[in-house]
A and B are shown apart, each in its own frame.
Chain A
């Protein structure tokens, strides 16, 4: 086979954030997740919530990765599900706005407790629960910011983390 630069390029694996507008009906999430597991696609993050109570539509935000061809397949496969209204790849030339919220519990006292508070302030994490030897921090930001924060908390007594997964929206005046 001759060297084909197109094929070579297609092999690059990229992370994409995909927004899917669906009917909020029973089983719709199972369909989406089932599609990913049946066809061997990655799910790095998946969030879902109703976004229009009158229309009964929910928005699913999926972060996945794959070659350009795989991403194209994922979108086409999602689009073919009957309750899916729209599939939009938010990762275009510009990266979308992505936010995640995390609740992070840290246990300990003394110097470590003071240090945890100091870092929380630098990250603008809010303290939402306090006991004499623990804190729960609430932190919103990009997933990488949350990752960094969690890593910093680890030596300071991190004992529990709950993350929401990513909510994403495109920049600029256009809607989905």
Chain B
């Protein structure tokens, strides 16, 4: 393009995406984005476009793409219902800090506010579920705003942004500016941590007698270097490591220092160690209520170090004794340097005693379950899935419910970016479209959605997308015919009154797969499981795997809402009563 030559808004969109290095867009057309779709057609697919079956699917696919690559996911949808359908996925990305750029069509500027056909106040609706959003009314602002959108989505704590583009702006002629010429006026997040605070943190760590690393999704978001630095720091100190649901994979599950996940369905040893520790090093996690349990009983005797890129995470739920604001990798790098230069050595004897204590907690074998010859136990199914896929190049997504927690407990993640799950929002229907996004980014890899039969029906239509684009995702359904997690709560909290948590009239998933042009498989007995999983892996097409599991199994350990970490329910303790206060919580 010649300097100063004017191009259409639609061309500006495509050019900006290209200059931002976008390889794939997940989208769905409609009246208000037709000029952009026309441009995609004319550019002969220089940027790949994946046509989803529902805009929520586009947003989750973009999340899967982003989470598995570290790059922002891009979504293109039309005005009105296109935008509102995407809202669940956008909110999901906000809660889990996923970088995502959503382009929405809007009615022509002259019609805005007139209740025009397919008009929705998209910037109004998405204001509280985006990191930021823009309505572009002048084509000459378009390129700048688009570059700004990528900047905001990816810098600092990542998140989703929406750019709403009226149809007339897509047609209008305007000037293009490249990404290099955009400097942000007000948004300049801090990545380097304050050195004085880092020194304080190191001093505190050096005095620890019962330390623990509590790590979260921030380690993953910071990039692979952060995981490496975490591993190095853990090795140098010899401290135990636990992680939130979002942080799984940052530290290898096979490492002897790994305690397993913490929180509501975390391990006995991780939660007890959190409760009893004297120095807690929180890295890129946010003291979510699923992690802390009862706040006033949360780790009552520890000093807390909190490393986070978002200043608003500090002291939000739990007071930090030393807070370091910055990007995890940058902060850990400095911390390691200070640690080494001080030649800090934690108290060996105290640490040995702490590990001895941890060994007794581990001895409780909290994830133990009673296996069966007759029924496939869900835990067994995940264990077998792990055993048969661990040496392959595997990515796991999940839906939401018991199966998600069993996946987190029993699938042993060794590296970052391999695990995509809806943590903050807990969105049923996330896993299948997220798997599409992962598979688009990693065409040769094995991508498995560990699913529940209820969740997967929420976005089942995306199987059609998988078939269209030859995305050989594997949807491994732990089919208990129940909304198992709901049923579990009803059992524990509502006297076993199973109000609407059983799904009658489930489809025949094997036939359903075939109807979509995918492959359907089923296993009902433990003895059939391994062969069926091998067959699933071997098929180079999308697979819907109906794994019939024990319908009554519950997920333990469990900290009931409103309870302290050392008040866990274990499988072999049987049902316990839950306090009235706990009942009112979610």
Contacts and interface: CB of A to CB of B under 8 A. Distances in A.
Interface of A: 1, 22-23, 26-27, 30-31, 34, 38, 69, 72-73, 76-77, 79-85
Given A23-B186, A26-B135, A79 B127 contact: no
B186 A83 contact: yes
A79 B311 contact: yes
Contact of A34 (B128, B300, B310): B128
A82 B300 contact: no
B41 interface: no
Interface string B275-314: 0000000000000000000001100100000000011101
A73 B300 CA distance: 22
A44 B192 CA distance: 36
Interface of B: 123-124, 127-128, 131-133, 135, 152, 185-187, 296-297, 300, 310-312, 314-316, 319
A142 B312 CA distance: 32
A51 B296 CA distance: 44
Nearest to B296: A1
Given A23-B185, A26-B135, A27-B127, A80 B311 contact: yes
Contacts of B312: 73, 76-77, 79-80
Nearest to B161: A82
Contact of A82 (B152, B310, B314, B316): B152
A83 B187 CA distance: 7
B310 A80 contact: yes
A76 B311 contact: yes
A93 to B, nearest CB: 21
A27 B316 CA distance: 26
A73 B135 contact: no
22 contacts: A1-B296, A1-B297, A1-B300, A22-B186, A23-B185, A26-B135, A27-B123, A27-B127, A30-B124, A31-B127, A34-B128, A72-B315, A76-B312, A76-B314, A79-B312, A80-B312, A81-B132, A82-B132, A82-B152, A82-B187, A85-B185, A85-B186
Contacts of A1: 296-297, 300
Contact of B127 (A34, A69, A80, A85): A34
A23 B124 CA distance: 18
Nearest to A74: B312
A173 B133 CA distance: 37
Contacts of A80: 310-312
Closest 4 CB pairs of A and B: A76-B312, A82-B132, A85-B186, A76-B311
Nearest to A77: B312
Given A73-B315, A76-B311, A38 B185 contact: no
A173 to B, nearest CB: 25
Contacts of A76: 311-312, 314, 316
Contacts of A22: 186
A92 B123 CA distance: 36
Contacts of B315: 69, 72-73
A23 B187 CA distance: 11
Nearest to A82: B132
A1 B296 CA distance: 8
Nearest to A55: B185
B169 to A, nearest CB: 15
**Most chain B CB neighbours (cut-off 10 Å) among A22, A38, A76, A82:** A82
A30 B186 contact: no
A25 B180 CA distance: 23
Contacts of B123: 27
Given A1-B296, A82-B186, A82-B187, 16 more contacts: A1-B297, A23-B185, A23-B186, A27-B127, A27-B135, A73-B315, A73-B316, A76-B311, A76-B314, A79-B312, A80-B311, A81-B132, A82-B131, A83-B132, A85-B185, A85-B186
B29 to A, nearest CB: 27
B549 to A, nearest CB: 39
Contacts of B297: 1
Contacts of A79: 311-312
Contacts of B132: 81-83
A3 to B, nearest CB: 12
A77 B297 CA distance: 26
Contact of A38 (B124, B128, B133, B296): B128
**Most chain B CB neighbours (cut-off 10 Å) among A34, A77, A80, A83:** A80
Contacts of B311: 76, 79-80
Nearest to B189: A80
A80 B159 CA distance: 12
Nearest to A26: B135
A83 B133 CA distance: 11
A84 B315 CA distance: 21
B566 to A, nearest CB: 14
Contacts of A82: 131-132, 152, 186-187
A38 B94 CA distance: 14
A61 B11 CA distance: 41
Contacts of B310: 80
Nearest to B131: A82
Nearest to B316: A73
Contacts of A34: 127-128
A122 B152 CA distance: 54
Contacts of B133: 27
A97 B332 CA distance: 43
Nearest to B157: A80
A33 B315 CA distance: 22
A82 B132 CA distance: 7
Contacts of A84: 186
A23 B134 CA distance: 13
Contacts of A73: 312, 315-316
A38 B129 CA distance: 11
B221 to A, nearest CB: 16
Contacts of A30: 124, 127
B178 to A, nearest CB: 21
A56 to B, nearest CB: 9
Contacts of B128: 34, 38
A154 B312 CA distance: 44
**Most chain B CB neighbours (cut-off 10 Å) among A23, A26, A76:** A76
Nearest to B300: A1
B130 to A, nearest CB: 10
Contacts of B127: 27, 30-31, 34
A81 B152 CA distance: 11
A76 B311 CA distance: 6
Nearest to B156: A80
Contacts of A23: 185-186
Contacts of A83: 132, 186
A1 B564 CA distance: 12
**Most chain A CB neighbours (cut-off 10 Å) among B123, B128, B135:** B128
A149 B566 CA distance: 58
A77 B310 CA distance: 9
